[in-house]
């Protein structure tokens, strides 16, 4: 008669893997909300929403710790190999990127609180566009992770150029404001910070997408030119 214990252990292992996947998706959903609320608080000059978003960062940090602990437990107790090992180590890295995305959303909210005390410099047009792309990149990178979809991961990586272009466009526009009227320097600088935080969010989404390619194909594409990623 077969020993039932290994089957029980395998079921526990599979449940832990599913739990890790669910944890990462839940954390990803929260940081997506953080991005959306941070930019909405900027556009609407809503300091209460900004403070609420800052307050939720502790939840992101808690999820980061719990997901890391699950990954370490899986590595220690089950000694996974090959595909499972890549999945778990990718999970460890993804939590780090998601936590930093959450930090950048908080940074945006902190600039919102500062900007709310001053007259609005200009209508926000490119910042929301930039945020929408960055948020979609986060969503796409996590979808790629869940579905082992390297084609989607590569699309996310390519979209990083759009965010970089918008960041440069915002930089040039705000530079002209500062050159023409030195009294705008403080406000323009704070908006530049917001743009930079969004660029970093897109960079973290790109990191996740690159790790998905590694997880599925066992191929490291970090630091590679984008033109060679699909090769």
State the pTM of this model.
Answer: 0.89
**Which pLDDT value is given to residue 217?**
86
Average of per-residue pLDDT across 132-143: 96
Q: Which of 157-166, 177-186, 221-230 has the lowest mean pLDDT?
A: 221-230
Which domain CATH number covers 103? 1.20.58.220
* CA-based nearest residue to 94, from 24, 156, 152: 24
Average of per-residue pLDDT across 149-167: 96
Q: Which of 21-25, 34-38, 81-85 has the lowest mean pLDDT?
A: 81-85
- Structure confidence by residue, pLDDT tens digits, 78-122: 888 888 898 999 999 999 999 999 999 999 999 999 999 999 998
pLDDT above 80: residue 224: no
**Which pLDDT value is given to residue 64?**
96
- Structure confidence by residue, pLDDT tens digits, 42-66: 999 999 999 999 999 999 999 999 9
- What is the average pLDDT score of the chain? 90
pLDDT above 90: residue 223: no
Domain span holding position 83? 5-229
**Count of domains observed in the chain:** 1
């Amino acid at each position: 008669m077969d020993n039932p214990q290994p089957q029980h252990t395998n079921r526990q292992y599979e449940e832990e893997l599913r739990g890790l996947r669910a944890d990462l998706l839940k954390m990803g959903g929260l940081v997506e909300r953080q991005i959306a609320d941070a930019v909405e608080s900027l556009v609407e000059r809503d300091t209460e929403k900004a403070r609420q978003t800052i307050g939720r960062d502790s939840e992101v940090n808690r999820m980061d710790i719990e997901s890391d602990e699950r990954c370490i437990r899986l590595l220690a107790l089950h000694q996974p190999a090959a595909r499972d090992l890549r999945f778990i180590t990718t999970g460890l890295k993804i939590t780090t990127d998601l936590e930093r995305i959450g930090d950048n959303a908080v940074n945006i909210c902190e600039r919102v609180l500062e900007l709310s005390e001053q007259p609005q410099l200009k209508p926000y047009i490119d910042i929301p566009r930039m945020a929408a792309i960055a948020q979609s990149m986060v969503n796409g990178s996590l979808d790629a992770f869940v579905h082992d979809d390297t084609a989607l991961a590569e699309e996310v990586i390519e979209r990083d150029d759009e965010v970089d272009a918008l960041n440069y466009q915002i930089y040039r526009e705000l530079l002209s404001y500062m050159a023409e009227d030195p009294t705008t320097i403080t406000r323009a600088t704070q908006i530049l910070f917001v743009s930079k935080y969004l660029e970093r969010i897109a960079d973290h989404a790109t990191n996740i997408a690159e790790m998905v390619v590694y997880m599925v194909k066992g191929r490291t594409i970090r630091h590679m030119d984008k033109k060679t990623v699909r090769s």
